[in-house]
Structure 1
Amino acid sequence: MASALINNASQIYFDSIFWMENEGMVKMFKALESSGLKGFLGCSSVIYEAALVEFFLNSSVRDDKVVSTVQGKSVEFTEEVFAGTFELPMEGLTDMSNVPKDLVFDARIAFSYDAGSFDVVTHERFLMISAIHGGVKVNWGRLLFNTFKDIVTPAMKQAKGYPVQICILLKGALDLELGESKDFPPLKILTAKTMGTYVAKNKNIKLMWMSQREIVRPRAHNR
């Protein structure tokens, strides 16, 4: 079960990414850092599998807090504790629908070709991309904590996530022995090497598509 909890998760090794030669990629990750997400996306990548599984089995939302029982001991996390742990901004937009339309338009121009079809990206996520790209202040503490609450609420049918972040929160809880730790899978950590491979593969995909377009291009009729 523990492996299923990290299927949708990834972490960023910012210091490695910033050494990339691809200026566009570096600029994109610099924007993530400037938006206040470095502490959340780039936190220590260690998993306590047994504690993580137990946390999800017993977790719920009560009085606007995420609560659970681990090793027979109650733990609870407020929005303030969550935001403070990962140094997330607590001021700014809390509703992505308020992202200025001109910034959304600019983001579509900047990313639509390179990022491919937006059919695979939810509208809300694209608005987040637009806000980050446009340098808009976002209350990430509230937005990400709301997602955290959805994750532990079965009725919301939100995919399990935040495995590394939850382990950090549990590690900060009093009187918990989390047991043996396990490194987060290296292939799920974004580094200069993994991103370089991603960029190379996407370039190949573009070149392949362009080559196929050349092959099927209609011939001009002889006059």
Structure 2
Amino acid sequence: MDYEGMVQMFKALESSGLRGFLGCSSAIYETALVEFFHNSSVRDGKVVSTVQGKAVEIIEKVFAGTFELPMEGLTEMTDVPKDLVFDARSAFSMGGEQLKTTCKKREIKYEFLLLKDNLAKTVTVKAVSFDAVTHERFLMISAIHGGVKVNWGRLLFNIFKDMVTPALKQARGFAVQICILLKGAPNLDLGESKEFPPLKILIAKNVCTYVAKNKNITVDVDEPVEPVVKKAAPKRRPAPAVGELIAKQKRTTVGRAAPAENELMMVPVVQDPEPISIVPDVTPKAQRRRAPKRKLELQKGFC
């Protein structure tokens, strides 16, 4: 492989003691694997289950011995030396600046990014986003890069116990490793097997493709982005103070304009009005008065 940093990462991974766990290849017995997880539980620090009506018991010593995992060293990632983590923050950085122990994947070099993905999918097996580097994974790759001794036998077996504990939100994994353990159990017929997906096996060609894809992603992310012009928020009228009169908005109507205030007249209002008498519509005709008849008398001597 031409990528020197990637070669050094794989050598550090091999020296950590995870070669037997990550490098094993085996067929997958899907039916037996599903039955194992369905019936599995933890009793007295052991993982017990029933497959095909037969009891299966896995202890920490058998688990670590099958994959040649070291049984000495750190059992908690929080015990990784702080000075080693401080140096790793610069060694893992793509740009050379000090990284945070929780960062985005585009900020970390390709070889440590691939190591982070391998640990996330095959060791910690957490059902979370792979876009970010968590604090736990950062400490784990720091320990592998710095050559710190880790008790992988106990650490991985504890993760294995969390997988079969329903109350915990630990994703189920270790499919190939569990099939190897079931294959070594006495008097157990696992039935038909399936080949391990070849795309999940790391070879030099897949590693080069991985680097090429992440280079394209990094270039797209680092390109300058045009500033987005934000629209100014509409100004809101301040709320009136307590005791201040609130002016009501006048309604506008279509029609004759309302009379002005100076055109209005003051009309007195009767306090105790009397009821209005009802007048009939048709009134009787008034009788005519006739004048008395007058007699015309002629005076004497008038002719």
Within 2, Cα distance between the matches of 1:121 and 1:60? 31
**1:180 counterpart residue number:** 192
**2:143 counterpart residue number:** 131
1:120 aligns with 2:132: yes
Q: Residue type of the partner of 1:39?
A: G
Q: Percent same amino acid among aligned pairs?
A: 76
Aligned-residue offset at 1:57: 0.3
The TM-score, its normalising length taken from structure 2, stands at 0.62
Per-residue deviation, residues 154-193 of structure 1 (Å, max 9, x unmatched): 1111001000000000001111111111111111222211
Per-residue deviation, residues 71-94 of structure 1 (Å, max 9, x unmatched): 100001110000000000000001
Q: Residue type of the partner of 2:25?
A: S
The number of residues matched between the two structures is 196
**2:207 counterpart residue number:** 195
Within 1, Cα distance between the matches of 2:23 and 2:202? 9
Within 2, Cα distance between the matches of 1:171 and 1:177? 8
- SS, match of residue 197 in structure 1: helix
Within 1, Cα distance between the matches of 2:132 and 2:31? 33
Ranked by relative contact order (alpha carbons within 8 Å, sequence separation 6 or more), the top structure is 1
**2:27 counterpart residue number:** 46
**1:22 counterpart residue number:** 3
Within 1, Cα distance between the matches of 2:87 and 2:6? 17
**1:204 counterpart residue number:** 216
Q: Does structure 1 retain, via aligned residues, the 8 Å contact 2:41–2:47?
A: yes
1:57 aligns with 2:69: no
Aligned-residue offset at 1:216: 5.0
**1:157 counterpart residue number:** 169
- SS, match of residue 199 in structure 1: helix
1:80 aligns with 2:92: no
- Report the RMSD for the aligned CA atoms in angstroms: 1.8
Within 2, Cα distance between the matches of 1:139 and 1:47? 27
Within 1, Cα distance between the matches of 2:48 and 2:132? 32
- SS, match of residue 87 in structure 2: helix
**2:73 counterpart residue number:** 92
Within 2, Cα distance between the matches of 1:84 and 1:56? 22
Q: Please list every run of at least 4 consecutive aligned residues from structure 1 whose deviation after the TM superposition is greater than 3 angstroms.
A: none
Unaligned runs of 5+ in 1: 1-19, 218-223
Within 2, Cα distance between the matches of 1:25 and 1:36? 18
Aligned-residue offset at 1:117: 5.1
